[in-house]
C-alpha cells in the first residue's frame, strides 16, 4: 500500500524517517571524533563534564533556568533510552503513571516495560481540560498516581503549553505529591515568534530532551535529563 502511494507521489506519514541525508559537516565532525583514541573508551555514566556544562549553559540561556551540571544534568543516548531507564529507576511494578492521550509511544511503553499501570485518560491539550482530567484521575485512582507526563511542544500534536498552565499543574502535583516528568525533546520545534517555556521555571521536575535537534540525525542524537538532583541520582544509580 505504501509503495503504491509513493508511486503516485503521495506523502507518507510513517515513523518519521528523514528524506535528506545528515548534513555533511556533521558527518565529518563525527568521523573526526571516531578517529580520536580518547573516544575509544567508556564514558562516565552521567556524561562528560564539558558536555554537561554546555547543556546547563543552554538551559540558562534558552529557558532562563540555572542548573548545576554536577547534580542536575545527566546525558543519555536518546529520549527513548532516557525514559525507559527513568521508568525502571523511579517506579516499582504496580505504580500508576499518568500519560496524555495521544502521546509519543515511549511515554507509555517505557513505564509498561517497568511493570507500571499506565493510565491515558488525560487529553494532551495543555489547558483546563488537561487539569480537570488530572483532578478526576487523582481523585478516583487507587493507588494514587506516582507521576504524570507532560510533553510540550507535543509529539504528535505540536501543541505548546503556557507558563500559566505549568504553574497550575505544578501547584496541583505539589499538593498531591506527584512527580512531573516533562518531555522537552522537541523544544525547538515551534511556529510562533515566542519560544515555548520550560516547566523548570515553575519547579525542578525531571525533563528529558534532545541536546541537538535535526530530523536527519537518526541514531546520532543524544539527550539529557535535567531536573531535581534526588530524581537524577536514582537515574544515575
**Average pLDDT of span 37-60:** 89
Which of 80-89, 132-141, 184-193 has the largest mean confidence?
132-141
Q: Please state the φ and ψ torsions of residue 206, each to the nearest 5 degrees.
A: -110, 125
Task: Provide the H-helix boundaries in the chain.
Answer: 2-7, 24-35, 49-63, 79-90, 105-113, 128-140, 163-175, 229-236
Q: Locate 6 and state its grid cell.
A: 509513493
**Average pLDDT of span 167-181:** 92
pLDDT of residue 5: 79
Using 50, 70 and 90 to split pLDDT, how confident is the model at 115? very high
Lowest mean pLDDT: which of 8-12, 86-90, 174-178?
8-12
Asked whether residue 193 carries a pLDDT value surpassing 90, the answer given is no
pLDDT of residue 212: 45
Q: Are 223 and 81 in contact (CB under 8 A)?
A: yes
Over residues 120-158, the pLDDT tens digits come to: 999 999 999 999 999 999 999 989 999 999 999 998 899
Pick the CATH number of 78-236 from 3.90.1150.10, 3.40.640.10, 3.40.50.1370, 3.30.43.10: 3.40.640.10
Q: Are 158 and 132 in contact (CB under 8 A)?
A: no
Asked whether residue 215 carries a pLDDT value surpassing 50, the answer given is no
Vertex 184 angle, CA 183 and 188, to 5°: 155
Q: Locate 96 and state its grid cell.
A: 500508576
Averaged pLDDT of the chain? 85
**Average pLDDT of span 11-25:** 76
* Strand runs labelled E in the chain: 73-76, 96-101, 117-123, 147-150, 179-182, 206-210, 223-227
Amino acid at each position: 500500500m505504501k509503495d503504491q502511494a509513493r508511486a503516485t507521489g503521495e506523502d507518507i506519514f510513517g515513523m518519521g524517517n528523514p528524506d535528506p541525508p545528515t548534513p555533511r559537516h556533521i558527518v565529518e565532525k563525527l568521523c573526526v571524533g571516531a578517529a580520536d583514541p580518547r573516544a575509544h573508551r567508556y564514558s562516565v555514566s552521567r556524561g562528560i563534564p564539558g558536555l554537561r556544562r554546555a547543556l546547563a549553559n543552554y538551559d540558562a540561556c534558552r529557558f532562563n533556568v540555572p542548573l548545576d551540571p554536577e547534580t542536575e544534568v545527566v546525558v543519555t543516548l536518546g529520549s527513548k533510552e532516557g525514559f525507559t531507564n527513568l521508568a525502571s529507576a523511579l517506579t516499582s511494578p504496580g505504580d500508576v503513571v499518568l500519560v496524555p492521550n495521544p502521546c509519543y509511544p515511549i511515554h507509555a511503553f517505557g513505564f509498561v516495560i517497568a511493570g507500571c499501570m499506565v493510565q491515558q485518560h488525560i487529553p494532551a491539550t495543555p489547558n483546563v481540560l488537561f487539569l480537570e482530567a488530572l483532578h478526576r484521575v487523582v481523585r478516583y485512582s487507587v493507588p494514587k498516581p506516582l507521576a504524570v507526563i507532560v510533553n510540550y511542544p507535543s509529539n504528535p500534536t505540536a501543541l505548546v503549553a503556557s507558563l500559566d498552565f505549568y504553574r497550575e499543574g505544578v501547584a496541583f502535583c505539589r499538593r498531591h505529591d506527584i512527580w512531573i516528568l516533562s518531555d522537552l525533546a522537541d523544544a525547538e520545534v515551534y511556529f510562533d515568534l515566542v519560544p515555548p517555556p520550560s516547566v523548570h521555571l515553575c519547579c525542578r521536575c525531571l525533563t528529558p530532551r534532545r541536546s541537538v535537534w535535526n530530523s536527519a540525525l537518526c541514531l546520532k542524537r543524544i539527550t539529557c535529563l535535567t531536573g531535581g538532583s534526588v530524581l537524577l541520582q536514582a537515574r544515575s544509580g
